[in-house]
A and B are shown apart, each in its own frame.
Chain A
């Protein structure tokens, strides 16, 4: 087997071992988005959409996108912890393929996010969420969600390598909330002050949320700026842009560990 494939699979397997050894933190990560939907639907659903039942079809696809943003923390924690404990250095002292450590991270995190999407989908169904789109559209929707996760993954790797220590992750854990709220995940930007609405419309999270709502056949946002009209295109462009910018930066930061 190709050494890159072999080494990345072994390294991704290490993360799988973490879930087996410590299932509780993994389950919490998996179920936290479900808790968010229950809270938002139960507490604000009435105020926002006149009732939880009417809000669920809007908020579930939004939170599927938000789940991908939460994944950023997972990536960053894994990267900074390994760097701080010297595990990254041990990997670097082994005759591994040079791309294996980051590729293994990608594989493990995308697997975790796929599991997160599955959990959130099951919870959504339990709450009455349904899709009306065809199988192709539904698959495309999940593909777009994972594409966003793939883009954010590289942001997380870069931030993790640049972070002075695991403490810096706390800042990111706080920042995901304003980023999450300042999007179309929970609310229609038409209800926001216009400048805030514009920011929310341009949020990469909104592009994916809007695009998957359309593909699932769920109600979308009513406002109509340029980004809202081009949600599907932007939901592809934003993640690709993240990869194009942050994958080389991450690779460079990883190589620069030897300076």
Chain B
């Protein structure tokens, strides 16, 4: 597969900053795939997006987007991409339709074509009722949808989406996810940044973990999750004896060693069936838990894993 995005040894040190924001950043994104750039605040996610979208000049390295060199052919890159930045960059005073028409006309569509395209996107993104209302009155989710629509007026071959769901409520988050998935069906290559492993898991074919300005871990979401371990069921009992008994009852459902510490049992499980099976086994044994929690691996676990691996390598 051709690479839609290719970055090699990209370096960026902001003036006055203590550490470089990007320090040997390498990335290859296959055409038509979705890549999630996963990392904490300050890992360099936004800097990477700004460099690849020509908003920011790199100090060193090379990068191409849709076959255009980011440094030498900025205009070629800009013609091929769409950018959805961190804050919804739409005109707050104009209505949704007027915004889409503005961006259509700036992409060179004639007035009638811009209007037709705006109408189409307004319908597709479920903004018909609010099309004439000032965007300043939109909810966070609506704004995000308009923002996405604005970057699609002329269908891009590569779309950059910087933290699409930060600050959104769960419903709005699901709406945005659905929208991004539809784009993928259209064949757009998507690079999205996120702080949430769950989001990367939902949307991406390929996840690149960014830390201190470079990619420290790469793979499919499944590969990453298997690296950091499975979902764990944590059950707390009134007494340590109950916990020990529950530990024994858990053995058939565990995919790894069961951990009994004091009054708490932690059981690594493969799927939801194991969770319900384990709970049924507890009930059958007459064991009454005080507290039950199902814990999925989080970004923190991945970071802890990366730290451990790096520590062992040293």
Q: Please state if B55 and A11 are interface contacts (CB–CB under 8 Å).
A: no
Q: Please state if B89 and A14 are interface contacts (CB–CB under 8 Å).
A: no
- Residues of chain A in range 55-106 having any CB-CB distance to chain B below 8 Å: 85-87, 89-96
CA distance A13 to B83 in the complex (A): 23
Q: Name which of B98-106, B225-233, B242-250, B298-306 contacts chain A.
A: B98-106
* A22 within 8 A of partner (CB): yes
Least Cβ–Cβ distance between B167 and chain A, in angstroms? 14
* A21 within 8 A of partner (CB): yes
Query: Given A18-B93, A87-B90: A94 and B56 within 8 A (CB)?
Result: no
Interface size class of A (residues with CB under 8 A): 20 to 34
Q: Please state if B94 and A95 are interface contacts (CB–CB under 8 Å).
A: no
Q: Please state if B89 and A96 are interface contacts (CB–CB under 8 Å).
A: no
Q: Please state if A95 and B75 are interface contacts (CB–CB under 8 Å).
A: yes
CA distance A94 to B88 in the complex (A): 15
Q: Please state if B78 and A95 are interface contacts (CB–CB under 8 Å).
A: yes
Q: Please state if A7 and B83 are interface contacts (CB–CB under 8 Å).
A: no
Q: Please state if A86 and B85 are interface contacts (CB–CB under 8 Å).
A: yes
Q: What 0/1 pattern do residues 97 to 123 of B give for CB contact below 8 A with A?
A: 010001101111000000000000000
* B179 within 8 A of partner (CB): no
Q: Please state if B94 and A18 are interface contacts (CB–CB under 8 Å).
A: yes
Q: Please state if A22 and B93 are interface contacts (CB–CB under 8 Å).
A: yes
Least Cβ–Cβ distance between B22 and chain A, in angstroms? 14
Q: Please state if B78 and A85 are interface contacts (CB–CB under 8 Å).
A: no
Closest B-chain residue to A19, C-beta based? B93
Query: Given A10-B106, A94-B103: A89 and B85 within 8 A (CB)?
Result: yes
> Which of these, B79, B89, B107, contacts A86 with CB under 8 Å?
B89
Q: What residues on A are CB-neighbors of B79 within 8 Å?
A: 95
Q: What residues on B are CB-neighbors of A258 within 8 Å?
A: 54-57
Closest A-chain residue to B53, C-beta based? A93
> Total A-B pairs in contact (CB under 8 Å)?
72
Q: Please state if B94 and A91 are interface contacts (CB–CB under 8 Å).
A: no
Interface size class of B (residues with CB under 8 A): 20 to 34
CA distance A13 to B111 in the complex (A): 12
Q: What 0/1 pattern do residues 69 to 102 of B give for CB contact below 8 A with A?
A: 0000001001101010111111111110010001
* B134 within 8 A of partner (CB): yes
Interface secondary structure of B, over-half rule: loop
* B15 within 8 A of partner (CB): yes
Q: What residues on A are CB-neighbors of B85 within 8 Å?
A: 86, 89-90
Q: Please state if A14 and B55 are interface contacts (CB–CB under 8 Å).
A: no
Q: What residues on B are CB-neighbors of A143 within 8 Å?
A: none
Least Cβ–Cβ distance between B15 and chain A, in angstroms? 7
Q: What residues on A are CB-neighbors of B81 within 8 Å?
A: 93
Q: What residues on B are CB-neighbors of A6 within 8 Å?
A: 108
Q: Please state if A17 and B94 are interface contacts (CB–CB under 8 Å).
A: yes
Q: What residues on A are CB-neighbors of B53 within 8 Å?
A: 93
- Residues of chain A in range 1-24 having any CB-CB distance to chain B below 8 Å: 6-7, 10-11, 13-14, 17-18, 21-22
Q: Please state if A14 and B102 are interface contacts (CB–CB under 8 Å).
A: yes
Least Cβ–Cβ distance between A84 and chain B, in angstroms? 9
Q: Please state if A21 and B134 are interface contacts (CB–CB under 8 Å).
A: yes
Q: What residues on B are CB-neighbors of A259 within 8 Å?
A: 15, 56-57
Closest A-chain residue to B78, C-beta based? A95
Q: Please state if B55 and A93 are interface contacts (CB–CB under 8 Å).
A: yes
Q: Please state if A87 and B89 are interface contacts (CB–CB under 8 Å).
A: yes
> Which of these, A10, A89, A257, contacts B89 with CB under 8 Å?
A89
User: Which A residues have a C-beta under 8 Å from some C-beta of B?
Assistant: 6-7, 10-11, 13-14, 17-18, 21-22, 85-87, 89-96, 257-259
Closest 5 CB pairs of A and B: A86-B89, A90-B89, A95-B78, A93-B83, A95-B79
User: Which B residues have a C-beta under 8 Å from some C-beta of A?
Assistant: 15, 53-57, 75, 78-79, 81, 83, 85-95, 98, 102-103, 105-108, 134, 150
User: 14 A-B pairs, CB-CB below 8 angstroms?
Assistant: A10-B105, A17-B102, A18-B94, A21-B94, A86-B85, A87-B89, A89-B83, A90-B89, A90-B150, A94-B78, A94-B107, A95-B107, A257-B55, A258-B57
